[in-house]
Each structure stands twice: as C-alpha cells, then as structure tokens.
Amino acid sequence: MALTENRTENSTERPRGRTVRRLTRPDPAARSRGGQRFLLVGLALASAYSLFPVYWLIIAATKDRVGLYQSNGLWFSDMHLWENLRQVFTYDDGIFLRWTANSFLYAGVGSLGGTLIALATGYGLARFDFPGRGAVFACVVGSFLIPIALLTLPLYLLFSEIGMVDTPWAMLIPCLINPFSVYLAKVYTEATIPFELLEAARIDGAGELRIFFSIVLRMMTTGGATVFLLAFVNTWNAFFLPLTVLRGEENWTLNLGLYNWSGKRQESGVDLTSLVLTGALLSIVPMAIMMIAMRRYWRSGVTMGALK
Amino acid sequence: MIRSQRWKGAAFTVPFQLGFVFLYLLPIGYAIHQSLYLEKQSGLGLGGSTTEFVGLENYQQGLTDSAFMTSILRVVLFACVQIPFMLFVSLMLALCLDAVTSRVAGRFRILLLVPYMIPGVVAAIVWINLYSPAVGPLTPLGELFGFDWNFFAPSMVWPAIGNLLTWHGIGYNMVIIYSALQGVPRELFEAARLDGASELRIARSIKIPFVRGALVLTALLSIIQMLQIFNEPALFRNVTPQTISDSFAPIMIIYNQAFNAGNYNYAAALSVLLALFLGVASFLFYRLTSREAD
C-alpha cells in the first residue's frame, strides 16, 4: 500500500519523485568498476535482443520482393519503402486505411466510454459504503480469472441473436465493461480523493453528481488517463474477440487484417510478405507514439495494478 | 454515512453492474446452459436436427477427449519451462537496472520496454518472418555459425513460441519487479554493506526476498495468460500449417469446435472446463507460494 502511494506521487509529480529517487540511490562509485561494466554489458545485450526484431522489420519494410528474399536480411539493399507504403495503402481499394480507422474507432470510443464507467464505479466502490459493495468488488476481481473463450463464444451467440454480429457494436459494447479498469480506478480514487474533501463539498450543498463531475473527475485526470491508455492498448491489441465477432473485412481491425494477409501467402500464389511487413511496421507506429507520449501514465498503471 | 447518500454512491456503480450482468454473467450462464445440451441429427439426418438435454455428457466427453486434455497438459508443461525462464531473465534485468545509476537505468528501461509496445499479433508476425527459412535472417545467420536449424520444423515450435513469448514479456515483467525493488528501504543496503556483505549477497539475501510478492504476481498473470494462449499458435498455423496442429492449445480446440465443427454445445462445455481448470491452477499456485512464505 505504502508502495503504491509512493508510485502515485511519482506519477503526478514526476520531477520531485525523480530527485528523491536519485538521492536515495547508493553511491555507484562505491562499487567496483568491473561490476558496473558487467551489468552494462548485460543490459546492452538484453536491449539488443529487444530491439533486433524491430530493426529487422524496419529494414524489411524498405525492400521489394526480390530484396526481401535475396539480399542480406540484416542490412538495407535498394530503397523501396515508398513503393511498399503506396502498395499497403492502395491494396484492395485502400482496405488498410479502413482497418486503421476501425482500430482507432473501437479502441478510442470503446475505451473512452469504458473509462468513464470505470471511474464512476471505482469512485462508488472506494468512497461509499453500500450494501452489496463487497459483492461488486468480488465480481471485479473474480472476472480476472475468466478465460476469454468462456465469454466470447456465448457473446457471439447472443450478439448473433440480436443481429449485432459483424457490426462495430459487437466490438464497442464489450469494451465498455472492463473490470481491470474498475479495479485501477478504485485504487486511484483511494489514493487521490480524500473523504474530508467530499464532506466539505457536501456541507457546501453540492449534489453527489456535481461532486463527481466537477471535483472527482478533475482530480482523477492522471488516474483517468492511465485507465484510458491501458484500455486503449488492450483493445488495440485484441485478437480473439474481433476474430470471433467480426466477419466482413470492412469491419476488421488492423490485427485481423494483418492476420489475414499473412495467411494469404499460402493460397493462390499471392505473395503478400512485403505488404504484411510494411503493414506491421505501420501498425506499431500509433501505439509507439501513444505509449512514449504517455509513458508516465502507463508505467504507473502497470506497476500499480500489479503491486496492489 | 447518511442512508440516502449510500444509495447515491451505489448508483455510481449501476452502469457497471448492468454491463457486468449482460456481458459477463449472462454469457457465462448461457454457456453453462448450452453445455448441458447437444444438437442431434434426427433419423437419417434428413429431418434436420433437434437439441436435446444431455446433462453432463459433454463434460464427460471433454474430460476423456484426449486432444483436449493433451492440449492442456501441453500448455501446462510449456508454462513450467517458459515462465520460470522468462521471470528469471526479468528478475536479473531488474537487479541490473537497480544496481546502475538511475540515468543509465532510465535509458535501458525504455529500450527494454520496446517489445511491450508491440501488439501481440504483430510481434508474432515479425518473429514468424524472422524464423522463416525464406525471408528470415536467422536461417543464414545460423548457417554462418554452423547451426542447421529450421524454425518451421514441428520439433522447433516450442523453442520458437517460447522465445517469442519471452521476448514479448521480459520488459513488462521487469518493470513490475523493478518498481518493487525501488520500494526496498535503502538503509538496509547500507547496513548490510557495513556488515561486509557483497553486492551479490545483498541481491540474494535482501533484494530477491523483498520482491517475492511481485514475482508471485507476475507468475500468476503469466500462468493465466499461458493457459489461454491463442494468438501465437494461431498465427503460426496461419503461415505454416504443417508446423503446428489445429489442436495445439485448448482455446484453438474450443474455437474449432465452435466455428469449424459447428458444435457450440461441446465448445461451451470445454470452455467451462478450461475456466474451472484455470481457477484451480491459480488457486493451487497461490496456496503453494503463500504457504512457503510462512
């Protein structure tokens, strides 16, 4: 608990958190030079391992088919990046753009709705004592153990009965309810919203809804951003749910589209390898930009969710 | 707290509760209901089919279905090898990060987290192409060093998927362990150093026991994920069907039963079985690790 609060402090007031951490570090000069060098070599090797596939992907995306199959895989040959990009964006009437837009729609709208619901629920669970509160929280935690197949297959059947299969709703609606987001929102509320503040607002005559929308939500910007980011990443990365509920390719996500393209080279002699690789590189870009821009949020979310 | 206030507080959780009922409880109930029925062809198959209540027959079939039970055993064995290995590497990296200056640690941490930023499906696509004898650089690289490996051979599926999962997971797990390490009171190290403990000794006797909780948690999360593994084998099968069977992982079998064989009832029973199994495995793991702590 103490640890978690510590992390929240770090994430909201990063500069201060950082200097504190730096000051409390043991003096590195106290340790042997050789030991340090050994650690650095280890870290460098691990980083090389982590980066190698991305490096190769970037190189592969610049090659045409001949270069891909015949040139040295670890270095550039002729530059064909623009051709590959044009090919990705124009293949099949620009279906790749459609998939990108779908991925943004499902992840963006679904996570936004899901985050609002989660913040309200987390706030209700953390700051009110009502009958059944324990049961709701038990549902939240218990659902972490439910395998996706157990939920997705019956959802597919239920959705097909009401005619929602193969529509954007089949992806959006399940995103609205995310127990992990609720769990995070509860933890953040406990760390950032003091009871005294709520009492003071009530004494001043503010209604509960007004307190939530104009005080709680505003104070929960950091927590809310973290919940949103993690939900977004989660939906963007989803595979089993879209594979099950989306049939026609005009509703697919990027993941589904790339899956389909990478399987196609088996059939009918079409070789889509350079298309798949360039598309894969493109699909990483939004995620990487978002994660790097919001890294202080998700780092605190990842560790908070885990340590609590 | 005033009574009306409590109910207003409860109202904040109503949207979630409603959603939970419709998106969690109802589907689970529906799956359990379906798992008790079976679609049977009537007569010579000409008169269409009827759905009959069969009790626990589907479950009985599932428990004696050798393909399903083998797939569970397969992922459990795989989990026993891959997860300890991945967590060991993550722990070592976290200890390394903890022992260098925080500026250096910050740089390496972002590099080591690059794989986590890549969606699982894309990660699998990239590695499958790296493994590919036709386009991947690993085959010529192996030849250079005298290895004649073929990652698309069925016997190499394990190392190939294990490497992919490890690559994808070490950064994330390292961050969790690392932030647990940050919580160790630094005075402990000073005291240990004054007593003449070496850095290795401090890592072994103070740091590692201190991050035990984080290790248990990352292991539990990895186990839950591993039993539900689907993306990686599905992508492998998509690209090289000869490498990997369609009954490789439990969820692949469930998916095939539902969408290729059209046997929803049996698929529902299998998914309930998988859920029960997951619950039991998590519980056992938790009990085992928390008893050791006493």
Pick from B12, B7, B5, B3: nearest CA to A195: B5
Would you say residue A18 has pLDDT above 60? Answer: no
**In order of start, what are the domains of chain A with their CATH numbers?**
87-307 (1.10.3720.10)
Q: Using one digit for the tens of pLDDT, what is the confidence trace for A100-136?
A: 999 999 999 999 999 999 999 999 999 999 988 999 9
Please tell me the distance from the alpha carbon of residue A210 to that of residue A131, in angstroms, as a whole number: 23
- pLDDT for position A7: 40
Reported confidence tier of residue B135, pLDDT bands at 50, 70, 90: confident
Chain B nearest-CA distance from A35, in A, is: 9
**Chain B residues with CB inside 8 Å of A66's CB?**
none
Please tell me the distance from the alpha carbon of residue B129 to that of residue B144, in angstroms, as a whole number: 19
List the domain boundaries for chain B.
51-293
Query: Considering only alpha carbons, which residue of chain B is nearest residue A118?
Result: B16
Name residue B80's amino acid.
C
Query: Considering only alpha carbons, which residue of chain A is nearest residue B96?
Result: A39
Written as six digits, the tokens of B270 are: 């299998």
Pick from B233, B222, B248: nearest CA to B124: B233
SS3 B51: strand
The pTM (predicted TM-score) of the whole model is 0.86
Longest distance between any two alpha carbons in chain B, whole Å: 86
B280-286: average pLDDT: 90
Please tell me the distance from the alpha carbon of residue A203 to that of residue A198, in angstroms, as a whole number: 9
Reported confidence tier of residue A11, pLDDT bands at 50, 70, 90: very low
ipTM exceeds 0.85? yes
B61-84: average pLDDT: 94
DSSP type of residue B244: S
Cβ-nearest to B278 among A147, A155, A157? A147
Q: Using one digit for the tens of pLDDT, what is the confidence trace for B175-195?
A: 889 888 888 888 888 888 888
CB contact under 8 Å between B231 and A130, yes or no, is no
Among the four given CATH numbers 2.40.30.60, 3.40.309.10, 1.10.3720.10, 3.30.70.270, the one describing domain B51-293 = 1.10.3720.10
Written as six digits, the tokens of A160 are: 């097909």
CB contact under 8 Å between A154 and B27, yes or no, is yes
CB contact under 8 Å between B13 and A121, yes or no, is yes
